[in-house]
Structure 1
Amino acid sequence: MVFQKAVHPAATRAYRDPEYRHPALPGNMQRDNFAIIVERVSPRLGVGLAAAHAFVRLAAMTRPSDWTSQVRTPFIYAEAGEVAKMLGLSQPRTRAITAELERAGLIERRTAANGSRSRAAGTGLYFGAAIARVDELMALDDQLTEERQRAIFLRGQRSTAKRYLKHTLERLSEISPYCSEAAAIRQAAAAWPSADRLHRMDLATLAAHVDEADQLCRAGLDLLEKREKTSGGPLENERPYIQDTTKESSVSCNEPVDMQSAGKPAQDKIHVMPPDGGPNCNEKNVDAASGAFKSEFIARLGPQRLFNLASPEMQLYLCGRAEPEYLRFYDFVWAAERRVPELGISPDAWNTAREVMGEDSAMLSILILDARKSEPGNIIFKPGGYLRAMTDRYRRGELHLIRSLIGLSERQRAGHG
């Protein structure tokens, strides 16, 4: 006995319901935009790539106005053989694809008793089933977009762990070349999936791997700290703090916030100045420190001091790693990478900041942005645009991160006073 897959209800009942007799696309959505959405979500509907592409091509054979009409439904009345020719497929393959689309609830096939199609008889391939599901398909598309963004951030976090672990193992090789524990960590890292495999992982598997990579990196850093201690080498957390310059004269510059910017995309032109103030701000003249800081220099700020300057949300992440005085710079990068999507900053804005500024300055930029986002009178409506503005200022040599950290410290002190 041969069992056939059930046809999606939208292709049989919902479309024929009088309420959905002629469903129309909402708002300004047009045929081609909708077809692209269908193609993107097709894997979640059980539709293969070939069938999804065929849907786009079939939709293009209909009148665009029918997709937004309240009195007509888009359809194709050409014979199956003609449709196969237009798709460049064999008739059996075309029949299989249209059957696949019908099972997924994206089209409805109406044929006469002899299998023929005609405009007069009202037979052919109808797209009302898909249009009736527009809200569902748009919600699914939004969900997939969020998942893609999440996957991009997760892959970036794995890249960070891999990079730090590589440098850690290199340092271990220098001071303890025959360390068996380092060899075990190196062997475990060698078994990590390739970057290509990461793209094929589902979110749960990818997140689990990223956690494992983070734990292995921390194990490597723990081992390095132990070996450096026994060999007399410098420990990151024992480096002296940068000289406290908060007692020097400084001016706080907070330019007015554009209250009309809420809700606009993060890539729009920003109206909130980066934390070093506006073009006429005297705070820029407090010191001449460059924004191009080396990792060793930034480490001198000290973990406790950086922790105290971070936002409560970032501090919550950091507390799960270690006591503030034992935090490593890697922990701050790790926490910043998790705050980035929560702040609504796109992967592109974050990656651009890292490429332009380097990971150290990009991390400090997130820490500063995050800490300032809820300051009274300094509401940041568009964190993504704010970060892009900071990146542009860095390119021009106008971003002074250390001075911004000093400003944060002073404002915190004044607030607690």
Structure 2
Amino acid sequence: MNHSPQVALPQGMTRRDVIAVISEVGRDLKLSAAAVYILTKLIGSTSAKDWAEPGAEPVFYGTQETMAERCHLTARQMRSHERTFERCGLLIRDTKANGAREAGTGRGLVFTPLKARFADLLALRDQKRETTNRIKELKSLRSVRLRRMKEGIARLSPEALDDEVIASILARYNAWPRSDRLHSLGIDQLERHIQDATDLCEELEERLENLPESSCEPAISFRSLLQEDNQKNPPVICNANVDERSAGKPAHSDLLRSEPSGSDDCRENKCGVESGVINPKLEALMQPEQLFKLASDDFQTALALRTNRITTEAIIDAAHDMLTPLGINYSAWRAACGAMGRHAAALCILVLDANRDHPQTPVRNPGGFLRGMIRAQKRGNLNLTGSLIGLQRRRG
């Protein structure tokens, strides 16, 4: 009995793909976990050739008793599952009056409806994956906001806690949903929460700037001011050869000092440590506007899609948005933030992304390279400033 001779799976798809898709979207079809399992067992007991050939009808000819025994069910339970699949439009029960099924007459559980719907189920699976990935991105972005908020709170002095605005900010912060409940919010509500969290972070930082003596601890990205009286620091001429190896080459993750670097007895290195003076050129290099110029076109686009202001937080958000395009796992990003802080982690992403088009040794595996930078940071060997200098030289 031919129910639909024109039915065909999408090109290249087989019975194995049908089973995989059903396993992934079965719950979205209102099927229980047990029903999904039974359905995949039934599909697996049909002819693989009938799924691959256009116009062929996949049919399960086995008896209810046999399949029920295989699945450790009663015949009644198996019959109930079959009726459920029929109501869901996944199969047709084409049996004799007494329920018998025969391969010779083509009578049995006909999966032609499922074969006809497979393209729609495939689209459902892709949409589900996209939703899952988006929720994962938003959850990771919430962790960025959470870390940013905690950094701001750490800078509050005890006196600042009596401020009404600060008290209101902290109350709204304490009302944030827990991290393990973010997935249940859904995309729309989660996106609204991320926007509210961003606004709250900016409100706290703005209030910190206006409060006297608001910093108990410096921000992680805080850099000490340049000494105004530079004449007190004697000029030093480096007595070591300049290391040119970063010019036109990828960033190094195994160096400690900023390039160019001399030997351990270099007078320039010793003087820099003793005086505590930050090179004005290095200070300028760390400014968000300069970092933006060093970034790749993709990184700049990611930042521009979020805001038209080039700030440190915008750099961090753009780095977060580049994780998926670069194939970097969110666990690596969280590890980097924990090891070196959000700002330094964002600079690592900027460097890795910019060096993908390196003419000699491009970065092929940004995720693996980032984990290498994390290990170098823990060993105290990460030279992020030197990497940025090398990138600046290559940019001309």
Note whether the superposition's TM-score is higher than 0.5.
yes
Shift of 1:405: 0.7
- Pair 180,142 (structure 1): closer, same or farther in 2 beyond 3 Å: same
Counterpart CA distance in 1 for 2:86 and 2:79 is: 10
Q: 1:213 aligns with which of 188, 197, 205?
A: 197
Partner of 2:293: 308
Check whether the contact 2:349–2:370 (CA below 8 A) recurs between aligned residues.
no
Superposition pairs for residues 154-233 of structure 1, below 5 Å?
A: 154-228=138-212
Counterpart CA distance in 2 for 1:65 and 1:94 is: 25
TM-score by length of 1: 0.70
Partner of 1:337: 320
Task: For residues 75-116 of structure 1, give each alpha carbon's deviation from its aligned partner in whole angstroms, at most 9, with x where no partner exists.
Answer: 322344554454444556544433333344433321224443
Report the count of equivalent residues: 360
Shift of 1:178: 0.7
Counterpart CA distance in 2 for 1:156 and 1:176 is: 30
TM-score by length of 2: 0.73
Check whether the contact 1:40–1:141 (CA below 8 A) recurs between aligned residues.
yes
Give the aligned residue type for 2:244.
S
Partner of 2:368: 388
Task: For residues 295-317 of structure 1, give each alpha carbon's deviation from its aligned partner in whole angstroms, at most 9, with x where no partner exists.
Answer: xx999933343333333444455
Check whether the contact 2:248–2:394 (CA below 8 A) recurs between aligned residues.
no
Counterpart CA distance in 2 for 1:206 and 1:199 is: 8
Check whether the contact 1:66–1:74 (CA below 8 A) recurs between aligned residues.
yes
Tell me whether 1:250 sits opposite 2:244 in the alignment.
yes
Partner of 1:19: 6
Counterpart CA distance in 2 for 1:331 and 1:353 is: 18
Task: For residues 194-217 of structure 1, give each alpha carbon's deviation from its aligned partner in whole angstroms, at most 9, with x where no partner exists.
Answer: 223212232222222212212212
Counterpart CA distance in 2 for 1:237 and 1:389 is: 26
Shift of 1:186: 1.5
Shift of 1:287: 8.2
Counterpart CA distance in 1 for 2:196 and 2:85 is: 40
- Pair 380,26 (structure 1): closer, same or farther in 2 beyond 3 Å: farther
Partner of 1:7: none
Q: Which runs of 5+ in 2 are unaligned?
A: 231-237, 270-277
Check whether the contact 2:90–2:111 (CA below 8 A) recurs between aligned residues.
yes
Tell me whether 1:401 sits opposite 2:384 in the alignment.
yes
- Pair 31,285 (structure 1): closer, same or farther in 2 beyond 3 Å: farther
Task: For residues 11-70 of structure 1, give each alpha carbon's deviation from its aligned partner in whole angstroms, at most 9, with x where no partner exists.
Answer: x9xx822223xx46854x654453122121234444444432321232334455654467
Greater mean alpha carbon deviation, residues 300-309 or residues 188-197: 300-309
Q: Which runs of 5+ in 1 are unaligned?
A: 1-11, 256-273, 290-296
Give the aligned residue type for 1:60.
G
- Pair 99,224 (structure 1): closer, same or farther in 2 beyond 3 Å: farther
Task: For residues 264-288 of structure 1, give each alpha carbon's deviation from its aligned partner in whole angstroms, at most 9, with x where no partner exists.
Answer: xxxxxxxxxx523999xxx785688
Q: 2:347 aligns with which of 357, 364, 372?
A: 364
- Pair 164,357 (structure 1): closer, same or farther in 2 beyond 3 Å: closer
Counterpart CA distance in 2 for 1:303 and 1:369 is: 17
- Pair 381,233 (structure 1): closer, same or farther in 2 beyond 3 Å: closer
Partner of 1:410: 393
Partner of 1:268: none
> Identity, % of aligned pairs?
29
Counterpart CA distance in 2 for 1:313 and 1:241 is: 33
Greater mean alpha carbon deviation, residues 402-411 or residues 365-374: 365-374
Give the aligned residue type for 2:354.
A
Shift of 1:379: 9.4
- Pair 374,104 (structure 1): closer, same or farther in 2 beyond 3 Å: farther
- Pair 409,254 (structure 1): closer, same or farther in 2 beyond 3 Å: closer
